[in-house]
């Protein structure tokens, strides 16, 4: 009789233990979620609490991402005076990857301004580019540290564009201004000059 009672209690205990484990797991998930919610990235997450879990189905949320203006004025302080370019801004991976590809012309004193949130040290290439360019590499202090002048489209030397060279500056940079070829020479733009923007 004692054994039957023991096994009956053991059988019921399995269900009790399973229920306790499920509740403990749910509590751990909510606890961890709230920890992340209180972190600096928590603003990107929806607010949920334990009673809301059964009905939570992943309500779409809107992520607020800081945006830069589509273009900006980039002024270079040269010995001849200030030279200002109106430049499109490339601040995300997509726009930076495309750059000035497929453009058949570029208005005078215009260009593209590549902006990075930290110093980088990778090269630029001219694949799918239709016009030659000057590349001005600028450090975090807004000083031109390197210039690649009259860089030709890759297709001029390799019509199939299989071996496009990359143009790497002499040191890490924070931004790059691409402008029409020979603009640097024509306007007296040289290494060491200061670059001003309103970003």
**Structure token digits, residue 31:** 């606890």
Going from N- to C-terminal start, the domains of the chain cover 2-55, 71-196
pLDDT in the model for residue 40: 47
What are the backbone angles phi and psi of residue 87, rounded to the nearest 5°?
A: -120, 135
Output the average pLDDT for the chain: 81
Model confidence band, residue 128 (pLDDT cutoffs 50, 70, 90): very high
pLDDT in tens, 153-163: 999 999 999 99
The per-residue pLDDT for 37 is 47
Q: What is 60-108 written as a DSSP string?
A: ----------SEEEEEEEETTEEEEEEEEEE-SHHHHHHTTTT-S---T
Please state which architecture CATH assigns to domain 71-196.
Sandwich (2.60)
Could you tell me if 182 and 103 are in contact, meaning their C-beta atoms sit under 8 angstroms apart?
no
pLDDT for 198 equals 84
pTM of the model: 0.66
Give the Cα separation of 100 and 112 in Å (integer): 7
* 65 vs 160 pLDDT, higher one: 160
Higher pLDDT, 90 or 52: 90
Q: What is the pLDDT of residues 10-40, one digit of tens each?
A: 556 565 666 656 666 556 555 555 554 454 4
Q: What is the pLDDT of residue 199?
A: 73
**Has residue 166 got a pLDDT over 80?**
yes
- Looking at per-residue pLDDT, the higher value among 198 and 52 belongs to 198
């Amino acid at each position: 009789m004692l054994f039957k009672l023991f096994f009956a209690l053991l059988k019921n205990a399995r269900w009790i233990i399973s229920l306790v484990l499920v509740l403990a797991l749910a509590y751990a998930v909510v606890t961890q979620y709230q920890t992340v919610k209180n972190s600096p990235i928590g603003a990107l997450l929806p607010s949920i609490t334990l009673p809301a879990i059964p009905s939570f189905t992943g309500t779409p949320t809107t992520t607020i991402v800081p945006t830069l203006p589509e273009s900006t004025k980039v002024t270079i302080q040269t010995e001849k005076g200030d030279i200002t370019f109106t430049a499109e801004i490339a601040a995300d991976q997509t726009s930076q990857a495309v750059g000035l590809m497929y453009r058949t012309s570029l208005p005078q004193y215009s260009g593209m301004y590549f902006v990075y949130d930290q110093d980088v040290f990778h090269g630029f290439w001219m694949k799918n580019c239709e016009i030659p360019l000057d590349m001005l590499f600028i450090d975090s202090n807004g000083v031109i540290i390197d210039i690649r002048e009259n860089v030709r489209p890759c297709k001029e030397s390799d019509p199939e564009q299989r071996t496009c060279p990359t143009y790497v500056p002499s040191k890490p940079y924070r931004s790059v201004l691409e402008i029409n070829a020979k603009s640097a020479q024509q306007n007296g733009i040289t290494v060491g000059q200061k670059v001003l923007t309103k970003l």
